[in-house]
Each structure stands twice: as structure tokens, then as C-alpha cells.
Amino acid sequence: MSDFIPISIKNTFNFSCNDDLACFNQCCRDLNQFLTPYDILRIKKNLDMPSDIFLGKYTTEHYGPETGLPVISLKADSDDGLKCPFVTSTGCRIYKDRPSSCRMYPLARGLARSRETGILTEHYMILKEDHCKGFRNGQTRTVEQWIADQGIAVYNRMNDMLLEIISMKNRLMPGPLDIKSRLTFHTACYNLDIFRKHIFENGIMDHLDLNPETLESVKSDDTMLLELGLQWIKYNLFGDRNSTAFQGTGRK
């Protein structure tokens, strides 16, 4: 049984997770673990693995029933109780680059956008599950402190960029995408090494007047490359020219 308890960013809660708890590693089994583009970026770099190889070995893909967009899920180990492929007896072997949902737990974060102003408002909840013993005698922290301690801010920033695309898709292009658009979304979001090749070897942006400093940065910086990829999706699929990289850009 699970309970969701609303909490404000300044409120405190008690929680700690360690290998002394009887439930240690149990939350890493039988999960429907979605991976965001930034999750994939961090994990594949941790494993020193090209994005296409990582995706083929560790993930599955389906299409969101409401958005029609490609969704990536972590492939559980069916031979070992559907456990996460990265969990070991001593904990997570990619812990410093673990996915945002693992990093956030036991918190859940939601966003609401004002129709009048467009301003985003965060909402937080505590997820309490019967199997989790981490709330017993746990360390006291505010939600704000937990976000800082767990390094969540950069994940939230990158994930919010994806949520903006989802909102734009639902508003401007409801229904399923065509094959070309789905491939554009998949590559720019998830398969960054191939996306980089498309930029520098296949010249997909040669017809655009992009900032040379941006192009130089994305040669080696995956975070910058993902940001460009998310902006490219908005530009390429929805004709959005408000993104910094494409302001003033026109087709030659």
C-alpha cells in the first residue's frame, strides 16, 4: 500500500536509506522505471557506453498512449526477480548517476502551468510505502535540503525542458507522430551520440545560422548537446524559434 502526502518545499520529513535496513534494495525490484533523456545521458556516461549500445542493452521503447511520443523504460532482469540491472548486494553500482526518480525518492514532484501567465508551480509529495523502513529514525531535512543533498536540481531543469515539449506536442500536434518525427524526437532526446553525428557528419543543421560557440560546445559536452536537441525538436517539429539557439535563424 502507498500513501502520497503533500508537503511544501520548506517542510521537514524524516528519511534515511542504508544497508542496515531490512528493506535495502527491495525498492529496486519489479519497477516500471521510465528514463528521462538526462537520466540516459548520465547513465551511459557512467558506463562509458555509446548511447545506441546502452539503449539496445538496457532499455525498451514504447509510445505514450496520450502523447504518442517515444518513452524509454529500463529493462528489468527477468531472471532475477525483475530487479534493476544496476543493483548489487551492496547497493546501486551507478549511484552517483542514478535516475531522477531514484534520486528523488521518497519524494514525488509535480508541475502545474498557469494558463494565464505560463508560470510553472512545483508541488511535492512524500511517497510512503509499506515495505520501506527508511522513515524510522531517519535524518530530518526539508524538501529543499533533500533536493540539494541528492543533486536533483539539474535533473529537474532538464526534465522540465522535456515537459515543455510534451505540453507543446499535446497543444499543437495531438495524435500520433509520423515515423520521421518520431525518429527525430528519439534521436535528439535519447540517442545523443547519433544526434552528434547527424550534426557534424550529416550536416542536419548546416542550413541554419547557429552560434559557432554553441556548435563547438556540443562537440564534447553532452548536457549542452541534449539542450540543443530539445531545442531542435521544438524548432524542427513545431516551428518554434523562441529557443536561444535558433533565434534569428532562417532557412537559407
Whether residue 10 is found in the same domain as residue 120:
yes
**Residue 114 lies inside a defined structural domain of this protein:** yes
Residue 169 lies in a domain: no
Query: Residue 79 sits in which domain range?
Result: 2-152
Give the closest residue to 51 by CA, choosing from 174, 192, 252.
192
Residues 43 and 125 in one domain: yes
Q: What is the pTM of this model?
A: 0.91
SS3 of 19, please?
Answer: coil
pLDDT at site 210: 85
pLDDT at 252: 38
Q: Identify whether 6 is part of a domain.
A: yes
Shared-domain flag, residues 137 and 181: no
What dihedral do alpha carbons 243, 227, 36, 220 form, nearest 10°?
Answer: 170
What pLDDT, on a 0 to 100 scale, did the predictor assign at position 52? 97
Could you list the pLDDT tens digit for every one of the 252 residues in the chain? 578 999 999 999 999 998 888 888 888 887 789 999 999 999 999 999 999 999 999 999 999 888 889 999 999 887 777 889 999 888 899 999 999 999 999 999 998 877 677 677 899 999 998 889 999 888 999 999 999 999 999 999 999 999 999 988 988 988 888 999 999 999 999 999 999 999 999 999 998 888 889 899 999 999 999 999 999 999 999 988 776 666 555 443
Answer yes or no: do 54 and 130 share one domain: yes
CB 185 within 8 A of CB 70: yes
Among 180, 194, 156, 193, which Cα is nearest to 233's? 180
Q: Could you say which of 117, 152, 187 is where a domain stops?
A: 152
Pair (132, 11) in one structural domain: yes
Q: Which is nearest to 102 in space by CA: 25, 215, 192, 174?
A: 25
Cα dist. 170→69, 71, 163, 202, 238 in Å?
10, 15, 11, 30, 11
| The C-alpha cell that represents 226 in the structure block | 541534449
> Phi and psi (nearest 5°) for 132?
-85, 125
Does 20 reside within a domain? yes
* Within-domain flag for 166: no
Residues 146 and 197 in one domain: no
Same domain, yes or no: 134 and 193 = no
For 43, other C-beta atoms within 10 Å of its C-beta total 21
Are 117 and 190 members of one domain? Answer: no
* Same domain, yes or no: 57 and 117: yes
Same domain, 103 and 214: no
**What letter would DSSP give residue 66?**
T
In a domain, 251, yes or no: no
Q: Is residue 171 part of a domain?
A: no
From 152, 186, 212, give the residue that closes a domain.
Answer: 152
Residues 193, 79 share a domain: no
Helix or strand run (H / E) with residue 58: helix 51-58
Helix, strand, coil percentages for the chain (3-state, nearest 5): 40, 20, 40
Q: How many independent structural domains does the chain possess?
A: 2
230 and 119, same structural domain? no
Please tell me the number of Cα atoms within 13 Å of 143 on its side-chain side.
Answer: 17
User: How many residues in the chain?
Assistant: 252
